[in-house]
Structure formats: C-alpha cells, structure tokens
Amino acid sequence: MTLRTQFCRGFRACCHHIIKKTGKTIWLMKEKRTNGLSCERARAFPIERALAKLGHFPTKSTEKEAWFLSPFRSETQASFKVSKKLNRWYDHGAGKGGNAIDLICLLNKSSVSEALKFIVQDQTSFSFQQQPVIEIKNNKGLKILNARPIRHYGLINYLSERKISIALASTICNEVHYLHKSRRYFAIGLKNDSGGWELRNKYYKNSSSPKDITLIKNGKDKLIVTEGMFDLLSILDSTKNLKSQYDFLVLNSTAFLQKAMNVIDGYNQIDLHLDNDSTGKETTQKLIARSNNCIDKSTIYCGFKDMNEWLIHNTKKGFGQGAQACFCCHKNKLALLPAVAKKKRNETDLHQIPVLHLREKAAQKKGGTGRYFPFRILP
C-alpha cells in the first residue's frame, strides 16, 4: 500500500466521521484545517531543505539539480539526485524516488501525519515561495561557537549570489558558527569593534552582542562609510586597490550615527555610500552637516537601494566588475568614470566561474521551488 493510498483512506474515514456530527463540529474541523498544513503544500517543501534539516548536504550543486551521498546507505560517490525545478528526489542506487513527504517518511520511518508535523516545525523559517531575508532583532541567547575561514559550500554559494568573490570576502569576514535558541547555525560574519559579530546568510540577518561599528584602519586620511558589510564588499569588489587609499567604516546600524560622527572628525575626505532610502538619506545629511569633508556617493548607485543591489544588477546584465563605475586619481582629484564598453568577466573570481549544467535524464515539467538548503545544522 502506497503512502498516497494510506492518506486517501484516512481522509475518507475522517470525512465519514464529520458527516455524522453537528455543524459545530464541522466548523471546528475547518478551523483546524486552516491552521494546519495540507499534503499539497507539504509536497512543495524544498527537498534540499528537508535533507539539510536531517543533516545531509550536497556534494555537487548546479542551477538545475543537487547530488548527495545517499542518506539510506554508506557510499563514496553521490547517487542521490534532487531536481530543483521539479522538487523531486531520485536514488539511483535504490531505483526509487518521490517528493518531500515520501523522503521524510522513509528517513524518519514515520507516518504521513508525523511527516507533516516535522515540516510544520520548520515553518517559522520556511516559505513555499521565495521570501526576503528575516532580520532577527532579539539576539538574546545567541552564542558564538567558533569563527574560521570561509569554506562551507552554502556560504560560498551565498556570496556568489551576492556577486562577491570568496577571495575578497575572506579578507574582512569569517565563517561563523553559532547557537540560537538551542539550534546551530552558520553565517558570513563581520566582527565589530566591541567583539560582537554581524551575521548574514541567505535566510537570516542576525548579530551577537555587543553591537558596535566596525572600523577597518589602513593608516589613511580618507574614509569610506557604508551601512552594512555587503555594501563595503561591493565597493571593494567593483573598485580595486582602495585599501591603499582609504580606511573603512561599517555602521552596522544607523543607530550608531553619533559614534560615526566621532570617527569622521579625524579624516580629510569621507565618502558616504549609504542606502538610497529615507533612513540612509537622513543619515547622509546629518553626517554632511557634521563635516564639510563628507561627500555623498549615493548617485553612483542611483535607482538602486544600495551598492550591492547595484552590483548584482550590473553583473547580471553582463558587465564585469568595475565596468560601470571605477575610481581613478586624476590631477589629485577623485573622479567617477562611466562605462564605455562591456568588460570581459574575470573568471579567476569564484563567483564568475561558469557552472557546469548536467543534462537532465528525464523530461522536466513545471513545479518545485528550487530553493537552496538553509543555513542550519542539527547537532
């Protein structure tokens, strides 16, 4: 008897029971159904995410598919395939496959209802459609476990999506593993001046106490100011050799405006690369009012929220890094040069290495969400 047959028989029995009851009981059943999770929606749960929740991560991944060592047996060569477009799995070694519910039932040796509960438990961080990054403001109970060089595939892939090279990110950031509400996570981390961490991955924005600014000193009299780590990384990625000309200040929060004012007083030139939103513009104006040495650089990425959004857009359009905006010293004055031609991509940067697409063995149909696995590790 298949899992689908089991579910259908159980559902028919439930309906038969409801018909015999009063309208009040039917109303209560409807309320339960609204708050619950249907099998149709549960089947859309990303299989990569289910595997990650169970402690299995891919050995190879492309835009279309991901390959895992089979979770059902020991092996050295990956034979377990997940189609991202169809959101289906197939174990070539066992000759069987299915959807997310089938997989969870087999791995946990559980019933369909237990598999649904397993998925519901992850609903706080799961969406069946692409969702924005969740910002966790209450970082109470967050404990840093360790910080090390960035090497996890999930984080390298995340940097690739943000169009930042791993070589550049590694110069100022680390791979940080931490505990939050008794669960283990990992993220790209930027350390602040008080020893706390700003933490970013594909699904969460988080930080550890104490919160503070991050000032990177290179012994220069010019300063670049950004709101977040990815704005600074985008500037460094699109413009080379800035470390030989500038110090860098990452606010990490516009709430640290007063601290920033104290820092900028010691610089002859301050380039402000703050967000193109109301908060960013207000912060820019306050800093300009504080010092005549401040220059608003937000016109570089006019029409975009921030530098990283601008960089992603230009890279997707086919421009090489630095092709749209670059800085040069001309008569001792910093000038912005427009792009004159498309620049050939530098494939030595990790995020520009072409992805090898493996041919699909079966015809693909519409469906699936194609989400990447989350940045959570079960102990």
Closest residue by Cα to residue 289 from 268, 264, 307, 266: 264
> Across the strands, what pairs with 262?
none
pTM strictly above 0.75: no
Tell me phi and psi for residue 47, to 5 degrees: -65, -35
Cis peptide before 210 (omega within 30 of 0): yes
Sign of torsion, CA 39 80 156 144?
A: positive
- Predicted confidence pLDDT, tens digits, the chain (379 residues): 555 565 556 666 555 554 444 444 433 333 334 345 677 787 888 898 888 877 788 888 888 898 998 989 888 888 999 999 899 999 998 888 999 889 989 988 889 888 888 887 654 444 433 444 545 555 566 889 999 999 888 898 899 999 999 999 999 999 999 988 788 889 999 999 999 999 998 877 888 989 999 999 999 999 999 999 999 999 998 888 899 999 999 999 999 999 999 999 989 999 999 999 999 999 999 999 999 999 999 999 999 999 999 999 988 876 544 444 443 333 233 333 333 333 434 433 433 333 333 333 333 444 444 443 444 444 4
Which DSSP helix (H) or strand (E) runs through 271? strand 269-273
Structure tokens at 234: 């985008």
Quickly tell me which residue has 């339960």 as its tokens: 32
Domains and CATH numbers, the chain: 36-130 (3.90.580.10), 134-207 (no CATH), 214-352 (3.40.1360.10)
Spatial distance between the Cα atoms of 161 and 355, rounded to a whole number of angstroms: 13
Q: Are 60 and 78 in contact (CB under 8 A)?
A: yes
